[in-house]
Structure 1
Amino acid sequence: MTRRTAPELARDYLGKDAAGLAAEERRVLDGIAGRQPIARDMGEEAEIRSTFWDRLADRVAAIGGSWAFIFSFLGILVGWMLLNTGVLPRLHDAAFDPYPYIFLNLMLSMIAALQAPVIMMSQNRQATQDRLAAAHDYEVNLRAELEIMRLHEKVDALRIEHLEALARHQQEVIALLGK
């Protein structure tokens, strides 16, 4: 079986002209024609593409979306309320943020206003990584499917060759028996 070019593979396996191939299909066929692997580590590729701000957004989202953050923040809130309701009024006859905790509400609003867009940036980045991984999965699956088709062709060619050899051998045996 001879080595075929990407346009030949496109015509034979995909039924398309090489000019009409999608970028993913072209990469797969070029990889097959050049006998090069196409699998790559998408996590590593995403890490290479990420900027400092992307990694920071991921880290903020990871911390802000954890139970440790929720429980520690709950502890801070309860401590704030106890400090301003029970401790400071008894020691100094005034609290720096008495009930209804207006300063605490301001701080919570500011944290929420900053944290929400950062988490959304991280989610957008994750969605982009998922799309890249899906496109790569498609390429790998297409490559596997095309390689299986090529293996079927090779097996079929071997089977035909074997049957032809058996037929020749059978003809020789019949000729010998006829003598």
Structure 2
Amino acid sequence: MKSDDLNQLLSDENEHLNKLHQIVKQTIDAEELIIRNLSNPPEEILTEGQKISDKVARFGGSWKFIILFGCILTVWIIFNVLAIGRFKFDPYPFILMNLVLSCIAALQAPVIMMSQNRQEEKDRKRSENDYMINLKAEMQIRSLNQKVDVLLEEQIKTLFETQEKQFIQLKEINARLQALIDKK
């Protein structure tokens, strides 16, 4: 009877280990795609126009541009106010300066918009990666919960079996005691 109990205990342990191995295998299979996407993100291939739009947007949105542009406008205005005669290429209402500013704004705005659209696409991809990481973490938590559930189930099962065996042994001891009492 002892070897049967030992064989049953080993069989139960093997079954328990197989359940844990199955949970781990399912988790690894489910995470494989996520890991592949995160470890090998697609490379970004930029055209010359995209590179230029990024540089223009980076420069056009900097303090360097604002200060440089402010200095150029100040020099333009001072020169055209103080210049004498034919050296004034843009007298007081500064029509030529307004035309240049309008052209710069008309050209710079779409270029900056192109760069912002590309940045928005990068942000979208980054948020997708964040979602994938969160999904992976959730899957790991679920796997851990499954493992804990299996462990608890097995522990409760073992506990009940042990109690049952103890109860049977107590009955046997009680029967032996009763037989001893009856003999006296």
Q: Same fold (TM over 0.5)?
A: yes
Which residue of the other structure, out of 18, 38, 41, is the alignment partner of 1:40?
38
Equivalent position of 1:170 in the other structure: 163
TM-score (norm 2): 0.69
**Matches of 1:93 and 1:116 in 2, distance apart?**
34
**Which amino acid in 1 is paired with 2:143?**
R
Match of 1:144 among 137, 142, 155: 137
1:85-164 mapped onto 2 (5 Å cutoff) = 85-86=81-82, 88-89=83-84, 94-164=87-157
Which has more helix, going by share of residues? 2
- Deviation by residue 1:19-68 (Cα, 9 ceiling, x = unmatched): xxxxxxxxxx9652x487256379x75x6233332232122112111222
Gaps in structure 2 of 5+ consecutive residues: 1-18, 174-184
**Structure 1 residues 127 and 82: CA distance shift in structure 2, 3 A:** same
TM-score (norm 1): 0.70
Structure 1 residue 61 corresponds to structure 2 residue 82:
no
Structure 1 residues 114 and 160: alpha-carbon distance in aligned structure 2, compared to 1, 3 A threshold: same
> Is the contact made by 2:34 and 2:132 (CA closer than 8 Å) also made in structure 1?
no
Aligned residues: CA RMSD: 2.7
Residue 49 to residue 97, structure 1, CA distance change in 2 (3 Å): same
Match of 2:67, as an amino acid? F
Rate the CA distance shift 1:38–1:155 in 2: closer, same or farther, 3 A.
farther
The count of aligned residue pairs is 150
Deviation at 1:162, TM superposition (A): 1.1
Q: What is the aligned partner in structure 1 of residue 68 from structure 2?
A: 72
